Amino acid sequence: AFLLVRSWGWKKAMEDIPGNLGWPIVGESFSFISEFGSPAGICSFMINRQKRFGKVFKTSVLGRLMVFMTGSNAAKILLTGKDGMVSLNLFYTGQQVLGRSSLLQTNGEAHKRLRRLIGEPLSMDGLRKYFQFINNLAIETLDEWSGRTIFVLDEASTFTLKVIGNMIMSLEPKGEEQEKFRDNFKIISSCFSSLPLNIPGTAFYHGMKARKRMFEMLDSIIEKRRSGEICRQDFLDSLIIKHNKTGGGSDEEKLTDEQLKDNILTLLIAGHDTTTAALTWLIKFLGENPHVLEQLRIEHQQIQEHRKGENLSWADVNNLPYTAKVLSETLRRATILPWYSRKAAQDFEIGGYKIKKGWSVNLDVVSIHHDATVFPEPNKFDPSRFEAPLRPFSFLGFGSGPRMCPGINLAKLEISVFIHHLVCKYRWRCLEKEDDSVQPTLVRMPKNKYPIRVEAL
């Protein structure tokens, strides 16, 4: 009765917001699910409603009343608004998969504390020790591409999973443990956007089973680390040694086993698909824009000439101005996370619209990244847009504010190293005609997985 009364009250409060709340209870869930599979993927639902109602509209999906809005003012309020005004909004499946202690499900002081603990090993200093592993893995991976036809998306996925598996828990890139880790991770990741039906046969059911297996694997690794049987200087060790509840020191800085495991899974999920998608789009955009590829190649070949055949160094990777612009333009043009979702924790107002506590508010980032007043000819791939400083909140590739991506340095490192070896040693041609269709997933990725034929230069 409470839910019905509340829902009726909200519907009334939403009267001034354009849009359609669909059928009672199910709302517009069926359209949302069916439009997922269209060429524009998850964005299709939003774009179609914007055509009918404008950039601000309401809807109801999977039992949630939602408002979509866009613009730098809305971005500023939603992403950096005063403490406790909004929280991150995950669908039920995401909440169950990541666990209640996940960074994505904590707010306020608890969130700040977790960010601090996680942020340390992901800082530039903390990442330095993984550079050699990433460099060697990029060289090996690309060696295997040469003379073959490959799907970039699949290969990028294997590369980024090996990097993050090694960084977090020193997993070897080959072998039985890597295979098991990969299989479980794939099942968990694909259930993330599935329907919340936990019954045998469904993706969600398989995902939760795979999560259990992944946690058993983590338990056994944590046990070995604690007993001193194995000691590695990786992400897991840094959290176990400094922050585990069984160790000494103040409890303020400690993590329970549940927090440890939920957050390792959170980093895997949040860091894998995003970096895979970014690397794949970047290679695709380079293939479609030969003049950008040429300019990028010059930046990387200059490093090679300068080092006279010696390997890429840590200092080189941190000084790649054109590569940084190419990555930003990739994230703008592809906008791999099309909207950032928040739940109002109190009543507030944006652009004259009254938002009530409990509503979901989605910030449409696609429109922000394609605003022709900031990015003329928005569909053109042009890294020179990032030469001059941009208006605040006009580029949100890694988000902004307290929830800004903590994996930004790792993502940039992986992508820069990989691209260095790719453009210095190889050329490639796409085996299909240009197509911007995307997969039916939350993170936007090319539908055709970008099939290419690779040759040594």
Pairwise CA distance, residues 332 & 456, whole Å: 30
Residues 219-258 that bind ligand HEM (CB under 6 A): none
- Please check whether residue 199 is in contact with residue 191, taking contact to mean a CB–CB distance below 8 angstroms: no
Cβ nearer to ligand HEM, comparing 21 with 265: 265
Residue of minimal CB distance from ligand HEM?
A: 407
Residue type, 199: I
The 3 state secondary structure assigned to the chain is: CHHHHHHHHHHHHCCCCCECCCECCCECHHHHHHHCCCCCCCHHHHHHHHHHHCCCEEEEECCEEEEEECCHHHHHHHHHCCCCCEEECCCHHHHHHHCCCCHHHCCHHHHHHHHHHHHCCCCHHHHHHHHHHHHHHHHHHHHHHCCCEEEHHHHHHHHHHHHHHHHHHCCCCCCHHHHHHHHHHHHHHHHCCCCCCCCCCCHHHHHHHHHHHHHHHHHHHHHHHHHCCCCCCCHHHHHHHHHECCCCCCHHHCECHHHHHHHHHHHHHHHHHHHHHHHHHHHHHHHHCHHHHHHHHHHHHHHHHHHCCCCCCHHHHCCCHHHHHHHHHHHHHHCCCCEEEEEECCCEEECCEEECCCCEEEEEHHHHHCCCCCCCCCCCCCHHHHCCCCCCCCCCCCCCHHHCCCCHHHHHHHHHHHHHHHHHHEEEEECCCCCCCECCCCCCCECCCCEEEEEEC
Cβ nearer to ligand HEM, comparing 167 with 452: 167
Q: Which stretch binds ligand HEM (CB under 6 A): 45-53, 137-145, 289-297, 407-415?
A: 407-415
- Please check whether residue 193 is in contact with residue 187, taking contact to mean a CB–CB distance below 8 angstroms: no
Task: Enumerate the known binding-site residues for heme.
Answer: 405
Site string for ligand HEM, 87-116 (x = CB under 6 A): -x--------------xx----------x-
- CB of residue 163 to ligand HEM, shortest distance in Å: 9
Q: Which stretch binds ligand HEM (CB under 6 A): 28-36, 42-50, 207-215, 399-407?
A: 399-407
Site string for ligand HEM, 63-92 (x = CB under 6 A): -------------------------x----
- CB of residue 205 to ligand HEM, shortest distance in Å: 25
Cβ nearer to ligand HEM, comparing 21 with 400: 400
Task: Enumerate the known binding-site residues.
Answer: 405
Residue type, 443: V
- CB of residue 310 to ligand HEM, shortest distance in Å: 28
- CB of residue 260 to ligand HEM, shortest distance in Å: 14
Cβ nearer to ligand HEM, comparing 53 with 314: 314
Considering only residues 46, 265, 411, 417, which one is a binding residue for ligand HEM as defined by CB under 6 A? 411
Measure CA 416 to chain center: 17
Residues 289-348 that bind ligand HEM (CB under 6 A): 331, 336-337, 340
Q: Output the CA angle 88-86-95, nearest 5 degrees.
A: 25
Cβ nearer to ligand HEM, comparing 222 with 267: 267
Q: Which stretch binds ligand HEM (CB under 6 A): 135-143, 238-246, 312-320, 394-402?
A: 394-402
Supply 263's token pair: 């957050």
Cβ nearer to ligand HEM, comparing 27 with 271: 271
- CB of residue 202 to ligand HEM, shortest distance in Å: 26
Residues 261-280 that bind ligand HEM (CB under 6 A): 266-267, 270-271, 274-275, 278
Q: Which stretch binds ligand HEM (CB under 6 A): 47-55, 378-386, 393-401, 424-432?
A: 393-401
- CB of residue 214 to ligand HEM, shortest distance in Å: 16
Count residues binding ligand HEM (CB under 6 A): 24
Cβ nearer to ligand HEM, comparing 13 with 324: 324
- Please check whether residue 149 is in contact with residue 428, taking contact to mean a CB–CB distance below 8 angstroms: no
Considering only residues 403, 420, 444, 449, which one is a binding residue for ligand HEM as defined by CB under 6 A? 403
- CB of residue 387 to ligand HEM, shortest distance in Å: 21
Cβ nearer to ligand HEM, comparing 21 with 77: 77
Considering only residues 217, 303, 405, 424, which one is a binding residue for ligand HEM as defined by CB under 6 A? 405
Q: Enumerate binding residues for ligand HEM (CB under 6 A).
A: 88, 103-104, 115, 266-267, 270-271, 274-275, 278, 331, 336-337, 340, 397-399, 403, 405-407, 410-411
